[in-house]
Structure 1
Amino acid sequence: MTIAYWCLLAAALLPYLWTAVAKAYGERYDNRDPRGWQARQENPRSRAAYAAHLNAFEAFPAFAAGVLGAQLAGVDTGWIDWLALAFIAFRVLHGVFYIAGKAPLRSLVWAGGFACTVALLVLAALAAV
């Protein structure tokens, strides 16, 4: 089960990768007013990286529930690990495509990550029956 748990850690840290990218593309960072600083950014890549940051936070709770629920329900570890790894790959690509301005690809990989989360939750529900 360690692969899926490492994926939980990766998913929990992923939003901070995107915020670091947002700061790298933005103007001089102001730690006294971080939210105001972000709101003033005009660089499209900084704004997109911040949006990827927020989206990564939004995706995390359901993914975590799926991994933990599947594990508790006794779903085969191979399936949990595979879906968790695929989720991380999709979420990394989601941020990359977001920052690159590739909206169709971004939406496609978002759907892939969402499908992994749904699959984990469905497998947990089926195993619990």
Structure 2
Amino acid sequence: MMRIGPALLLLPVLLATAGPAARADDDHERARAALREGRILPLERIVESARQRFGGKVLDVDLEGEEEDGGFHYELKLITADGRIMKLDYDAATGELLRIRDRHRKRDGGRHAGQEGGQEDGER
């Protein structure tokens, strides 16, 4: 006789883990379609721009947003040569640097040294 009880206990776990994976695949497909259709710039261009401007090494990249919500943006996390962790938000369609968040700042006259453009923390 087959026991169904243990299989039913695993069903919620399987369903819970399948949802995020399916959403991630959908997000990747939307990003590929947006790139193919010329609605966003290639990630390589954004990463190269960040490296030229700030140096350092890119640690993580996310493509966020929806066209319905005002467009896509790339969020890059990088570590500079002097050890600062920075988060940079770029408009994915234009490559414009929208926001800089710098974790290891030194205060200098009320401005953040290391703040090189874009909006300061807390602005949006």
Q: TM-score, normalised by structure 1?
A: 0.30
Structure with the larger strand share = 2
Structure with the larger helix share = 1
Higher relative contact order (CA 8 A, sep 6+): 1
Q: TM-score, normalised by structure 2?
A: 0.31
